[in-house]
Chain A
Amino acid sequence: MIVIRDLHKKFGRLKVLNGLNLTLEQGKISAIIGPNGSGKTTLIKCLLGLVKADQGSITVSGQSLNGDWAYKKMIGYMPQWAHFPENLTAREIISMIKDLRNGEKNWDEELYHSFNLGREAHKKIRTLSGGTKQKVGAYLAFLFHPQILVLDEPTAGLDPMASSLLKDKIMKEKAAGKTVIITSHIMSELQEMAEQIIFLLDGEVKFQGSVQNMMADNKAEKLERAVAAMMGRYSS
């Protein structure tokens, strides 16, 4: 379970998070949505310890985030754009990460096989396509069986086949009790996977509830319409 209390963050004069409160239960897929600049990325970065909040607290499985890095073992992160050192091969990147996490030998190699990464692993990152780099990024996020998965626009650069393989994997991990946090702009995809929608605006949670509730509240058949209606209501 992730509990976020009264989180504030300013970059210079710009308030990005504005007293954000959020509780995410274990074993659910939660989608964080909101217009550009609403604080989605900053929220995720706070959770990952990349950004330090000015005020407020985050607790991950009862462990409070106070500058200690050990809790990151529980989190698997897939960034929006995968950038790796250009001159290393995919295999070397993978072995570097495994090397940094030695002691954890129970690897989840499922995506390596389903994405057929073996065929590309010997090539230098520089020569790989954007989609292949994304696949490596996705594989790394699941590699250590994390309890919590943070996926930032996971399917953005993937072809339909890879994208559906990844969705299957996400559903499978969810069924195994993992907590999944996704941001995406592809609403149909969220409608398909997410159980819970968290709508951010101006660094605050404006709505948190099930996909069904959100659609019912906004009298829409599709999540995309519901979200558009909601964004329209708040911005006017």
Chain B
Amino acid sequence: MNTILKIGKHELYDVFRGKWVIVYTLFFWIITDSLFRFGGDPGRVILSLTNLVLIVIPLVSMIFGSLYLYNSREFIELLLSQPIDRRYLFMGMFGGIAIPVGFGFVIGAGLPFLYFGGRAAGDLFTLILLLAAGFLLTLSFLALSFFISVRIEDRLKGFGLAFLLWLFFTVIYDGLVLIFVYAFGDYPLERVMIILSMLNPVDLVRIALLMELDAAVMMGYTGAVFQKFFGSLAGMLITLGSMMVWILLPFYLGLRSFVKKDF
């Protein structure tokens, strides 16, 4: 445990000095601030932010995670020649990048709500949900990128696969679901749709957030079924559970590969 903290601490310094995390934080800060200045209503700011979060967080997490692991390759070898447990090294590195990237988003997107505060009080729950969802999405895609970077030796191929996966989860998956719905439109698909949304962390976050916003009204009958499911306690727990699987599964697979890997 101590070893994890020590590694994490030093990686954290390195990431902060790299300044990219600071640029990332500023990016969310400026966007959220401008949304408040132009739009005003916190509910609408959250809705606009949601759409941005779903695209930007997976992409940035994938890039940060892969870049970081591929660039530390030789240093990892040096650290592994020291008497430390491989698992601790992996966990320390994950923490060292997950904390700054995750909190970079939370702070950047959260700050404007503080000083535009009074008006936002009613949407506090939705805001917390958005920040938590963004944070969990960061962990999930960082874990995915760690898994890819450990498994794939060639960094160009690794980046390519990370980018493809991002494209798949943010764009292609929805297209496939649309085709599916179009083909089987004659059948009641609401339950199937709920299951399909669990199989993609981006969709999971999207639907969970949209249900909290008033946007659900526009989705007709499906929206009502979704709202009933995602609004219920059981639904929320299942959603949180599947999100956890989307973090822990790639993390575990990455860890296992890292322990077995030949450097």
The answer to whether A and B belong to the same complex is yes
Hey, which bits of chain A sit against chain B, CB under 8 A? 11, 45, 48-52, 69-73, 75, 77, 79, 81-88, 92, 96-97, 99-101, 124, 137, 140, 150
Chain B min CB distance to A195 (Å)? 24
Cross-chain contact B74 with A97 (CB below 8 angstroms): no
**How extensive is the interface on chain B, given as a class?**
20 to 34
What residues of B have a CB within 8 angstroms of the CB of A72 in the complex? 81-83
Q: Which of B6, B17, B73, B84 contacts A87 (CB 8 A)?
A: B17
Cross-chain contact A88 with B262 (CB below 8 angstroms): no
Cross-chain contact A48 with B262 (CB below 8 angstroms): no
Cross-chain contact B82 with A87 (CB below 8 angstroms): no
Q: Which of B78, B80, B82 contacts A101 (CB 8 A)?
A: B82
B7 at interface, CB cutoff 8 A: yes
What residues of A have a CB within 8 angstroms of the CB of B79 in the complex? 100
Cross-chain contact B262 with A11 (CB below 8 angstroms): yes
Cross-chain contact B13 with A87 (CB below 8 angstroms): yes
Smallest Cβ-Cβ distance to A85: which chain B residue: B14
Contact with A along B76-115 (1 / 0, CB 8 A): 0111111111100000000000000000000000000000
B72 at interface, CB cutoff 8 A: yes
Q: CA of A73 to CA of B12 in the docked complex: distance in angstroms?
A: 26
Cross-chain contact B13 with A100 (CB below 8 angstroms): no
B10 at interface, CB cutoff 8 A: yes
Cross-chain contact A52 with B81 (CB below 8 angstroms): no
Q: CA of A11 to CA of B119 in the docked complex: distance in angstroms?
A: 62
B11 at interface, CB cutoff 8 A: yes
What residues of B have a CB within 8 angstroms of the CB of A82 in the complex? 74, 78
Smallest Cβ-Cβ distance to A52: which chain B residue: B262
Known contacts A85-B72, A87-B14, A88-B10; A101 and B263 CB within 8 A of each other: no
B75 at interface, CB cutoff 8 A: yes
Cross-chain contact A51 with B13 (CB below 8 angstroms): no
Q: Which of A11, A50, A97 contacts B263 (CB 8 A)?
A: A50
Cross-chain contact B81 with A100 (CB below 8 angstroms): no
What residues of A have a CB within 8 angstroms of the CB of B75 in the complex? 83-85
What residues of B have a CB within 8 angstroms of the CB of A92 in the complex? 10, 13
Q: Which of B81, B86, B263 contacts A77 (CB 8 A)?
A: B81
Q: Which of B14, B16, B80 contacts A50 (CB 8 A)?
A: B80
Cross-chain contact B85 with A69 (CB below 8 angstroms): yes
Cross-chain contact A51 with B263 (CB below 8 angstroms): yes
B48 at interface, CB cutoff 8 A: no
Cross-chain contact A48 with B6 (CB below 8 angstroms): no
Chain A min CB distance to B250 (Å)? 23
What residues of A have a CB within 8 angstroms of the CB of B7 in the complex? 96, 100
Smallest Cβ-Cβ distance to B83: which chain A residue: A72
Chain A min CB distance to B174 (Å)? 37
Chain A min CB distance to B205 (Å)? 31
Smallest Cβ-Cβ distance to B13: which chain A residue: A88
Smallest Cβ-Cβ distance to A72: which chain B residue: B83
What residues of A have a CB within 8 angstroms of the CB of B72 in the complex? 85
Contact with A along B1-33 (1 / 0, CB 8 A): 001001100110111111000000000000000
Cross-chain contact B82 with A85 (CB below 8 angstroms): no
Chain B min CB distance to A75 (Å)? 7
Cross-chain contact B262 with A73 (CB below 8 angstroms): no
Q: CA of A188 to CA of B239 in the docked complex: distance in angstroms?
A: 67
Smallest Cβ-Cβ distance to B5: which chain A residue: A99
Chain A min CB distance to B66 (Å)? 16
Q: CA of A69 to CA of B73 in the docked complex: distance in angstroms?
A: 19
What residues of B have a CB within 8 angstroms of the CB of A96 in the complex? 6-7, 10
Chain B min CB distance to A14 (Å)? 12
What residues of B have a CB within 8 angstroms of the CB of A137 in the complex? 78
Q: Which of B10, B16, B71, B80 contacts A48 (CB 8 A)?
A: B80
Q: Which of B16, B74, B81, B262 contacts A81 (CB 8 A)?
A: B74
Contact with A along B223-263 (1 / 0, CB 8 A): 00000000000000000000000000000000000001011
Q: Which of B15, B77, B84 contacts A100 (CB 8 A)?
A: B84
Chain A min CB distance to B97 (Å)? 12
Cross-chain contact A79 with B74 (CB below 8 angstroms): yes
What residues of B have a CB within 8 angstroms of the CB of A100 in the complex? 3, 6-7, 79, 82, 84
Cross-chain contact B260 with A70 (CB below 8 angstroms): no
What residues of A have a CB within 8 angstroms of the CB of B15 in the complex? 87
Q: CA of A97 to CA of B18 in the docked complex: distance in angstroms?
A: 21
